[in-house]
Structure 1
């Protein structure tokens, strides 16, 4: 009982002590006293972008400068949220005159606009003042207006051009001289077909004079788009009734007038791209402006032509640092009026088969702002659509030509980059004021060449079949060398068969590429097996034991090496298989060397093998006890192998030029005859000139003859039984007689 009272008393004392030392929220007990608890220092309960303020027993938060509380409260607790204030839109007069306000998170910046500068170091609220560009240019000894006078404006400046000069309404562009005299009518009277040139000259001259006499900026802002439309309307009236032009000078005047007019109108155009089409012309003009010369690629296209060039080549060193223009103009019917003037091309073809030239594309002109285009820093590519598509039965050569100052078509500085049945891509090193077009001439193979090709290939195929039969069935000549000859003939047979059936079947494209791939593979296979023959001869002479090659090694290399080369070539450049005229490797972009490269390497290695072989043979013949029969046999093998290599190598020397469009008839006939008679020559060297093969042929023929005689005898005995009976009796009597004699 006493213990319970003590526990009760102790509990009461604890409750009293706790009530005495307990503190309210925001206070903390220290030495039995309640003091303020600083939440800002210990907990920092305020949200981001705000500042905490402590109070006696509590705290409050305020947003930092540049922020406001989401609900507009000035003082708030931890539940508040501070948002950025956009001073540029919500505060007026944030930045001074001539400055641009840029809002930042929690603040803003003032930047001076072009033509102004900050005159204080306090940038956010600084005042921007006008820059006197004219005074600065004089101080720096810069000629920012060229031939004009610099006049300062608020935030800018104006190049005031004197009479005879203009900046085409672009205030800050240097003034350049206007050559209005270039639009004077020529002294010599043009052809009656070009009588409409006078209207174009007059219109361009008046526009030029109006620009050269303007003294107020607004007057210089000519409407280039309207002037361009008027010009093409006048050009349409000039070209529509035109008759064929006999004089080259008339064509030159026409092209120069059109190009000079576009070059004059270009700087007045406001739009970056202008396309305009009439019944006679189709044009696209691209314009670039900036403080520096433009860079990058530019492509212009219309129905009949395409232009790909670089802006650096288009602008060059023109009078306008930030201006460049490139224009592509196609004449829809001009090709009908300029069908002559091929004298220069005929001079270049002198000594060759006399070609017939004709224009096979629309005439296209390229105009750029670059005043010097005789030697461009980057080549220009012009794609011209063919008027007449190339047919599979035609063998044509395309020429990229331009209209020269001599009034004729010329190829200087322009060449064919890529061509197919429907278009040709021309690569030109210059432009100037020329029309870029395409010419072609036919070079058809004669019927005689086609007939010779078929006859020779048929003979070759028949001989190769005989070779394959011989090497497969004659057991007396079995061996490594015979195996090599067998597979060489198989590869050559398939290659000739594919050549005969598909070399000219260019449609469809996929089938033509497949034929080209087969020819590539099997002709490489022929040379690969020829290399193996050289290796085998070398081993027969140099090695005394184990001179034969295992069949597995032969098949792996003979068929695997060509397959690897063709596979890599097809993966790297599949479009090079098949051309518009032949199903063979393209002679462009170096793909043909995937065939000629290995062929040359094989021929060089075989030459080395044969030199060593002949040298070793000579040493063996000079030895004391030579095995003459074996050496004579190897010598015969070597001679036939060298002859075979010479025939195949010589054939592809002419084959390198056969698939050129300019190949003449002599090259074509030589290649055809050598290619067609390969099988016959292989049959002659390896079969008819081999004594073992001749003996095998004689044995086979004798077996055939004996079987025929036996069959004939059996036939007679079956048809005359009495005779056979008497013969049997006679034979029996002879036997009896003989036995009696013995």
Structure 2
């Protein structure tokens, strides 16, 4: 009677204030949990009871000290099910050696606990893809879980392949994702894994303007492919062209290698995401590898900034004495070992932090800072070094080239400054300010996908020695065709 009365109140409710909706929803949840806990009765083996009403479905399963089952099967309802290690929880209750789980599925609770309470970007549409469910351990002394709990949600609305699915739980006033993740999904259902019990739901987030999103995806695809081409051309130039012994290209080569592999892997992953995402282990491995490749790319950008600063400070390329200190072997150890150490520690401490919806680092539990933290430090140092390089170089060129045409010098200086700004990764700072701004998002996408292009232009196209070698190569090629 009480459940059905709550349903009628829910249907006729004219509440519109978010605070009132959340408050009433919390009261309904608490009352429901108290009501269903009265169905828990002591048992020596196992016992279950279930009910189905218009407003809610409920099921209670109890186990006692003399249970003969090795595992409790899934507790199933019309649109959802739960898989919980209830026997393991009972064994941890040393005094009673018993436990009970109460599982409820609310058919219209989304009218109160709306998907809009999921506080993410405002430029998206949130859709409740499942019924709201609740799982508790009533009249159980030790409620600590022995294993994560898996919930299977049947989709109650049409599945949008371009949307992002989130397993969320209700935290008094909002839906949050902490401690929950998607194990696998298809067009019909989604399996969520959570490390605690609460009230759960499945929310899909989609863009307001699918046309704009598709255009942005196309621009991203084109920019990344162009960047990959120029990364490859730069690597070929560094490998096959003859360079002055005073020039140390080790940082530039490894920037190209790291970012080429990172962008290529990320591009392939996103193109085949529907195939990769259900394979949770593969998805986690890919996200860990991306973490390593992008981080190593940033470490190499920092090494390049330091070497460039030393070069400009000494008004020449690094001397042979310095090259012994900064040998290629030592630089490679620094460039890759730092990134490997960060990824290793991160994976060791929070191994479940890898394998998000897009096979990247998960945003919950602040694990994303295992990537953003080192990146912020490197970007800050690179910005400082870049400013010092520009000031020093400008002062030096003004003194040395007093008779050279200032207009020509200014144009070349301006272009090289912009290009070096991109090469050192400084435009990645835009990533912290792109929220809601399409212009900044497009600028961020273009600049950071074209690091290979600017490396090729500065160190290959604008290098006289390299240009001469290219001319000889093309002449030989033309001669070979004529013969």
TM range (shorter): 0.5 to 0.7
1:603 matched to 2:379? The reply is yes
Q: Kindly indicate whether the alpha-carbon contact (under 8 Å) linking 1:585 and 1:591 is maintained by their aligned counterparts in 2.
A: yes
Which residue, 162, 168, 179 being the options, matches 1:399? 168
> Which of 47, 50, 53 is matched with 1:278 structurally?
50
Equivalent position to 1:644, from 419, 423, 431: 423
Secondary structure (helix, strand or coil) at the match of 2:365 reads coil
Look up the match of 2:68.
none
Residue of structure 2 aligned with 1:499, choices 266, 273, 277: 266
**2:345 corresponding residue in structure 1:** 568
Counting only pairs closer than 5 Å after superposition, residues 44-123 of structure 1 correspond to structure 2 as none
Contact 2:305 2:385 in 1 (8 A): yes
SS of equivalent to 1:589: helix
- Do residues 453 (structure 1) and 220 (structure 2) align? yes
SS at match of 2:154: coil
**Unaligned 5+ runs, structure 2:** 15-23, 53-57, 65-73, 90-95, 184-190
Whether contact under 8 Å (1:651, 1:674) holds in the other structure is no
Change (3 A) 1:522 1:558: same
Residue 310 (structure 2) aligns with? 539
The aligned counterpart of 1:528 is: 299
In the other structure, the counterpart of 1:247 is 12
1:341 CA drift (Å): 1.0
Runs of 5+ consecutive residues of structure 1 not aligned to the other structure = 1-184, 198-241, 288-300, 312-322, 371-377, 403-409, 658-662, 715-742
Counterpart of 2:334 (choices 548, 557, 560) is: 557
Is the 8 Å Cα contact of residues 238 and 249 (structure 2) preserved in structure 1?
yes
C-alpha deviation, 1:502, in angstroms? 2.2
Q: CA 1:703 to 1:414, structure 2 compared with 1: closer, same or farther past 3 Å? A: closer
Pick 1 or 2: higher relative contact order, CA cutoff 8 A, min separation 6.
2
Alpha carbons of 1:471 and 1:618: their partners in 2 closer, same or farther (altered >3 Å)?
A: same
Q: Confirm whether residue 420 of structure 1 aligns to residue 182 of structure 2.
A: yes
In the alignment, the residues of structure 2 paired with residue 569 and residue 541 of structure 1 have an alpha-carbon distance, to the nearest angstrom, of 36
Q: Cα distance 1:261–1:506, how it changes in 2: closer, same or farther (>3 A)? A: closer
Is the contact made by 1:471 and 1:478 (CA closer than 8 Å) also made in structure 2?
A: no
Following the alignment from structure 2 to structure 1, what is the Cα–Cα distance between the partners of residues 135 and 269? 40
Change (3 A) 1:418 1:462: same
The answer on whether the counterparts of 1:399 and 1:411 sit within 8 Å (CA) in structure 2 is no
Q: Deviations over 1:624-660 (max 9, x none)?
A: 999999xx899987664334224552365479x8xxx
Match of 1:217 in 2: none
Larger helix percent: 2
TM-score, normalized by length of structure 2?
0.66
Contact between 1:481 and 1:533, CA under 8 Å: does it hold in 2?
A: no
Distance in 1 of aligned mates of 2:31 and 2:415: 77
Between the aligned partners of 1:507 and 1:262, the Cα distance in structure 2 is 35
Q: Output aligned runs, 1:626-705, within 5 Å.
A: 640-647=419-426, 649-650=428-429, 653=432, 672-705=445-478
Q: TM-score with structure 1 length normalisation?
A: 0.46
Instruction: Give the superposition deviation at 1:457.
Output: 1.8
Offset, 1:687: 3.3
Whether the aligned pair in 1 keeps the contact of 2:128 and 2:202 (CA below 8 Å) is yes
The root-mean-square deviation of aligned C-alpha atoms, in Å, is 5.2
Summarize the alignment of residues 436-451 of structure 1 with structure 2, pairs less than 5 Å apart.
436-443=199-206, 446-451=213-218
SS at match of 2:170: strand
Distance 1:248 1:307 in 2: 35
Q: 1:519 aligns with which of 269, 290, 294?
A: 290
Q: Name which one, 1 or 2, has greater alpha-carbon Rg.
A: 1
Aligned to 2:239: 472
Q: Is the 8 A contact 1:527 1:602 kept in 2?
A: yes
Cα distance in 2 between the residues matched to 1:529 and 1:644:
10
The superposition leaves residues 28-73 of structure 1 with CA deviations (integer Å, 9 ceiling, x where unpaired) of xxxxxxxxxxxxxxxxxxxxxxxxxxxxxxxxxxxxxxxxxxxxxx
CA distance in 1, matches of 2:427, 2:363: 20
Q: Say which SS state the counterpart of residue 399 (structure 1) adopts.
A: strand
**Paired position in structure 2 for 1:104:** none
* Alignment length (residue pairs): 418
1:112 aligns with: none
Note closer, same or farther for the CA distance 1:674–1:441 as it changes in structure 2 (3 Å cut): same
